[in-house]
């Protein structure tokens, strides 16, 4: 199959919508990461998403809509709790996914057999135009091969999926750079399943107490079934061995410089760069979590391009605000390997 490269113009959006209506797959820019979209109500089209990505069938997909009313219009959920409306009023369109009890129209391929469905109204203009033009709810996971970092440019999508999908629309670089926050309202109190651009603090300001799933910050025990199936898969891991260093500014620099070699690199802050004697990948200025989120996946992909790098020591993000999302992705890239220099 030849993958069409489409642009943000009316003709190309219509073309992409036609592909979706016919059961095809389209790489779609969103403000978080690029998604691989298909008609959420067409089980065959959805099954093809799993094939193209090599994604395990037990990992459910997010359904993308272009207004809160779409939930009712398409019959996506069997119940729309008051808290869903509150979250929508405050954070939609935007990087927040809400899990509700599913409507009977949702194919098992989308929900992976669960009795719930994940729903998101993205803010990216192209995603909105495409959903409206297709007049369909669009199931879309991140548009990467399963196991590699989520794509934040159309080029990343092409690198992973060229020849396996019908088209990709180029919408430039994704703003947020990390996948959406996922919260389930299918239980009370609601629970945060994946941290993202809409932070725990922001959610609690609007709907009160929100629990944090244990898998957000910790490694799952082998015998535990995760609330969100995606949590159990190793994610975003570059081929090099990533190790998070819990350390103060100087201890971080001294440790790495003592262990320097051609095979060692560092994921650090701007302020560290000139003090480190190894190859550096900066997340941005210290404290600027939104910037760190924006840069992380690009950095993980770049590390893979440098084949001689075997070990990467990383700064440990602060676990608050958007920093919780950065930490959540980094510990997975590190296979949960954290070295606490403060305790040595
Ligand atoms: O920002 C995003 O959310 C991007 C863009 C494209 O919208 N999408 C994305 O999709 O990250 P994906 O498939 O890579 O991640 C979806 C996550 C997975 O961890 C999955 O297990 C979880 O959401 N999920 C989906 N439906 C669920 C459900 N019904 N219950 C629990 N977790 C669910
Ligand atoms: Mg993904």
C-alpha 182 – ligand 1 centre gap (Å):
7
The ligand 1 atom at the shortest distance from the C-alpha of residue 229 is 21
C-alpha 260 – ligand 2 centre gap (Å):
33
The pLDDT of residue 344: 67
C-alpha 51 – ligand 1 centre gap (Å):
17
Tell me which residues have their CB within 5 A of the ion that is ligand 2.
142
Query: Please, are residues 172 and 67 in contact by the beta-carbon 8 Å criterion?
Result: no
Which one of 230, 235, 332 would you pick to mutate in the ligand 1 pocket, going by the greatest count of ligand atoms within 8 A of its CB?
230
C-alpha 35 – ligand 2 centre gap (Å):
9
Residues with CB under 6 A from ligand 1: 30, 32-33, 35, 59-62, 97, 99, 111, 114, 116-118, 120, 122, 140-142, 179-180, 182, 193-194, 228-230
Closest residue by Cα to residue 335 from 234, 185, 229, 189: 234
Taking the model in full, what pTM does it have? Answer: 0.95
The pLDDT of residue 235: 67
C-alpha 216 – ligand 1 centre gap (Å):
14
Query: Please, are residues 292 and 326 in contact by the beta-carbon 8 Å criterion?
Result: yes
Q: How far apart (Å, rounded) are the C-alpha atoms in residues 126 and 9?
A: 9
The ligand 1 atom at the shortest distance from the C-alpha of residue 178 is 1
Q: How far apart (Å, rounded) are the C-alpha atoms in residues 329 and 234?
A: 10
Report which bound ligand comes closest to the CA of 236: 2
The CATH number assigned to the domain with range 4-182 reads: 3.90.870.10
pLDDT profile of the chain (344 residues), mean per 10: 97 98 98 98 98 95 98 98 98 98 98 97 98 98 90 96 98 94 97 97 98 92 77 75 96 97 97 98 97 94 93 96 96 93 80
Query: 241-343: same fold as 4-182?
Result: no
The pLDDT of residue 233: 63
Per-residue H/E/C for 14-76? HHHHHHHHCCCCEEECCCCCCEEEEECCCHHHHHHHHHHHCCCCCCCCEEECCCCCHHHHCCC
The pLDDT of residue 224: 76
Residue minimizing CA distance to atom 10 of ligand 1 = 141
Q: 247-266: string of b/e by CB count within 10 Å (b at 16+)?
A: beeeebbebbeeeeeeebbb
The pLDDT of residue 210: 98
Query: Please, are residues 98 and 84 in contact by the beta-carbon 8 Å criterion?
Result: yes
Domain chopping of the chain, boundaries: 4-182, 241-343
The CATH number assigned to the domain with range 241-343 reads: 3.40.50.11030
């Amino acid at each position: 199959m030849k993958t069409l490269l489409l642009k943000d113009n009316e003709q190309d959006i219509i073309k992409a919508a036609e592909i979706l209506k016919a059961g095809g797959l389209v790489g779609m820019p969103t403000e978080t990461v690029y998604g691989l979209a298909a008609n959420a109500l067409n089980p065959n089209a959805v099954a093809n998403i799993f094939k193209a990505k090599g994604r395990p069938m037990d990992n459910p997909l997010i359904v993308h809509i272009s207004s809160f009313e779409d939930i009712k219009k398409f019959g996506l959920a069997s119940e729309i709790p008051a808290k869903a409306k509150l979250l929508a009023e405050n954070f939609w369109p935007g990087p927040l996914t809400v899990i509700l009890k599913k409507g009977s129209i949702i194919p098992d391929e989308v929900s992976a057999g669960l009795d719930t469905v994940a729903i998101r109204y993205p803010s990216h203009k192209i995603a909105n135009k495409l959903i409206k033009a297709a007049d369909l709810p669009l199931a879309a996971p991140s548009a990467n091969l399963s196991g590699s970092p989520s794509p934040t440019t159309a080029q990343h999508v092409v690198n992973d999926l060229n020849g396996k999908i019908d088209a990709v629309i180029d919408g430039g670089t994704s703003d947020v750079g990390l996948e959406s926050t996922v919260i389930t309202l299918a239980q009370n109190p609601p629970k945060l399943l994946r941290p993202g651009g809409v932070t725990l603090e922001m959610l609690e300001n609007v709907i009160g107490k929100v629990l944090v799933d244990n898998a957000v910050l910790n490694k799952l025990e082998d015998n535990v079934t995760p609330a969100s199936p995606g949590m159990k898969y190793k994610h975003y891991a570059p081929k090099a061995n990533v190790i998070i260093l819990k350390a103060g500014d100087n201890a971080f620099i001294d440790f790495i410089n003592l262990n320097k070699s051609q095979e060692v690199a560092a994921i650090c802050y701007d302020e560290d760069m000139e003090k480190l004697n190894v190859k550096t990948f900066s997340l941005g200025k210290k404290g600027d979590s939104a910037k760190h989120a924006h840069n992380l996946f690009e950095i993980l992909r770049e590390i893979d391009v440098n084949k001689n790098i075997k070990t990467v020591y990383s700064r440990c993000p602060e676990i608050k605000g958007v920093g919780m999302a950065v930490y959540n992705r980094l510990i997975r890239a590190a296979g949960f390997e954290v070295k606490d220099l403060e305790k040595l």
